Structure 1
Amino acid sequence: MAPIKNGRLLFNEVPTGYPIPGRTTVYDGSGTIDVESEPLNGSILVKTLVLSVDPYLRGKMRAPEAKSYNPPFALGEPLYSHGVGKVVRSEHANFKPGDYVYGSLLYAEYFVPKDVSYLQVLVRPEPSLPWSVYIGAAGMPGQTAYYGWKAYSKAKAGETVFVSTAAGPVGSMVVQLAKQDGCKVIASAGSDEKVKFAKEIGADVAFNYKTTNTEEVLAKEGPIDIYWDNVGGSTLDAVLGNVAPFARIIICGYISQYNGEEPYGIKNMRQVLTNRVAINGVLVFDHHARYEEEFYKVVPKKLATGEFKYSEDITRGLDKGGEAILEVQKGTNTAKKVIVVAND
């Protein structure tokens, strides 16, 4: 078989602010691959189908010496994130041609993973759901919401919950989990369209934080028993100023300070003491052993029946991956951002 194009999205430069397409990330469409003869060396050849674009990717766009819980991207190499791909060829006993795999996939049309331990064969529990949902509401973002809510919310019916970035893939799942537990939900989002979606999935109070004062809403609708934090900064401070005794704060993201913004100094930390507030950070991989099996039994079925709702913002083509990443960092995406690289 003649070689075919194998496009890749490369990490080209450490950004100082937002990741700029063509500078921070560069699409390289010059590469080719012969899928029949590419050496596998005991591994597998994966065709990438869909890739997840998530806020945490910005934290990996850093210099190697900058430490974090997640390793940085390597300059000159393809980016990677959660995705679904299809096995084209295999020299590994755990995978066979035609299998679908889920896990950390390169931003490349085809690739041979050096380490297959980051991949698992994905048997679609609900065939009516497209593969893209398995990297969104039925994948890592949905797992983050489900695991964090189960582990830390200690929710009781009638409590008041505030969710920031409530129309995103994590926040929207938290809204629905909180409503399922009988809570009153306050939701913030960054556009009127996103506010509308937050209301459609059950939020009792939803507002555009760009046009409405967050602190005024919380003072009127609170106090807050549970806060799911996707943004940090002044929003977290507003919550601390309006917490109920024994409130729980679950910190999932800090996107207000991912792109070179001046760190925000929290003014209301005293409330943690006076109201005996519990604060926990949630990273999805800490909780797989406890909740993953339960998640796949519960969540895909509820998504397939419509009991849980989801929304997607699809970018088609790896060549537009840099723009998709920037949209998520700026919040101009309209829903869960997915890059469709190829059809099955």
Structure 2
Amino acid sequence: MSPIPNGRVIFNEAPLAEGYPDAQKTLVYESNQTMDVETTPLNGGILVKTLVVSIDPYLRGRLRNPEKQSYNEAFVLGQPITSYSIAVVLRSENTNVKAGDHLYGNFPLVEYHILKDLTGAKKIENKEGIPWSLYTGIAGMPGKTAYYGWKAYAKPKKGETIFVTTGAGPVGSMVIQLAKLDGLKVIASAGSPEKVQFMKDIGADVAFNYKTESTDEILEKHGPIDIYWDHVGGEVLDLAFKHAARFARFIEVGLITGYNTGGIQPVKNFGNVLFKSLTIQGFIVGNLDAEYSEAFYNEIPARIARGEIKYLEYVKHGLQSAGQVLVDVLKGDNIGKAVIIVADK
């Protein structure tokens, strides 16, 4: 077989700290490289074909100049970015996997690439037969974020009240459903009528559009809140401090309002951490993987297959769409988990 084009998504230009990335300049799709999938030496490795990639808000933080320090490494200019993906094995010289196996991991956004080994990769059997794209969303890193954080830090009690921001997203929607399974009252916010309806459909007791309704008034009426699941930070975090119950738990997963504005907005009501004896817990999903991964895979894909956990997907096709999809996610223009289908099989 002759070499075939091997498209990839390159980190081309670091965006400014304030403002959204440029969909045409920050990430650039290139198809000038080729690969012979039948004869390329593997040197003990694994040749895979990318099927689905996830586009998530946290990628914004890695699109920066390397001298700016953060909790994760900056992407390398001129090189492919990485994201959580599902890939199928085409050839393998690793005895632990064979052609036809499917792998999940934080892989480069390249159509075909060679893994040196299985470090950071997990073989997915998908006995339930759910769509592979779900293993980058509700059954992947976003679902794990919700599940791990809920199990480790929420400490829910039946009858308590939780407030979930970005409740129609892949993490927030899972949290809503986990909270309802544990008997909590759920307040949830999102930014469009369609997203509000989805939150209602999955069980939110109070679902509202933060762009057209007052978060302050909603929390005043339906609070106080015992758990705050935060993806946004900024003014909403400040209001959550104001409307928190005594001994409330704050679970900090994201601060998206600061991702494109140059920094995190100060808060005025932080004193309530002391006055109300609040607990604030930030976490990175990978830090909890060893403890909760097995339980997650044993429980969540089966629940999805049985229809017990619902989801929405924002699906685009082809790696060339990556730049625009990232901007869509950061602006909140996506309805559901943003995924890119690179190949069907």
TM range (shorter): over 0.9
2:89 corresponds in structure 1 to 87
Q: 2-side partners of 1:147 and 1:90: how far apart?
A: 32
Q: State the SS of the aligned residue for 1:112.
A: strand
Q: 1-side partners of 2:41 and 2:12: how far apart?
A: 26
Q: Please give the residue correspondences for 1:260-271 in structure 2 after superposition, counting only pairs within 5 Å.
A: 260-271=261-272
- Note if contact 1:125-1:296 (Cα within 8 Å) is conserved in structure 2: no
Q: Does 1:120 align with 2:116?
A: no
- Note if contact 2:94-2:117 (Cα within 8 Å) is conserved in structure 1: no
Q: State the SS of the aligned residue for 1:334.
A: coil
Displacement of 1:114: 4.3
Q: 2-side partners of 1:55 and 1:221: how far apart?
A: 29
**TM-score when normalising by structure 1:** 0.98
Displacement of 1:99: 1.0
Q: State the SS of the aligned residue for 1:314.
A: strand
The 1:316/1:218 distance shift into structure 2, 3 A limit, reads: same
Q: 1-side partners of 2:244 and 2:232: how far apart?
A: 17
Give the letter for the 2:141 counterpart: M
Q: Does 1:15 align with 2:9?
A: no
Q: State the SS of the aligned residue for 2:178.
A: helix
Question: 278-287 or 168-177: which moved more?
Answer: 278-287
1:185 corresponds in structure 2 to 186
Question: 177-186 or 116-125: which moved more?
Answer: 116-125
**TM-score when normalising by structure 2:** 0.97
2:237 corresponds in structure 1 to 236
Q: Which runs of 5+ in 2 are unaligned?
A: none
Q: 2-side partners of 1:8 and 1:77: how far apart?
A: 9
- Note if contact 1:163-1:185 (Cα within 8 Å) is conserved in structure 2: yes
Give the letter for the 1:113 counterpart: L
Q: Please give the residue correspondences for 1:1-344 in structure 2 after superposition, counting only pairs within 5 Å.
A: 1-16=1-16, 17-114=19-116, 116-127=118-129, 129-344=130-345
Question: 150-159 or 114-123: which moved more?
Answer: 114-123
Identity percentage over the alignment? 54
- Note if contact 1:103-1:119 (Cα within 8 Å) is conserved in structure 2: yes
Displacement of 1:260: 3.0
Q: State the SS of the aligned residue for 1:313.
A: strand
Q: State the SS of the aligned residue for 2:248.
A: strand
Deviation sequence 1:38-69 (CA, Å, 0-9, x none) = 22222111100000111100011111121222
- Note if contact 2:9-2:110 (Cα within 8 Å) is conserved in structure 1: yes
Q: Which runs of 5+ in 1 are unaligned?
A: none
Count how many residue pairs are aligned between Structure 1 and Structure 2: 343
Q: State the SS of the aligned residue for 1:48.
A: strand
Give the 4+ runs in structure 1 shifted more than 2 A. 113-116, 260-263
Q: 2-side partners of 1:179 and 1:261: how far apart?
A: 36
The 1:133/1:85 distance shift into structure 2, 3 A limit, reads: same
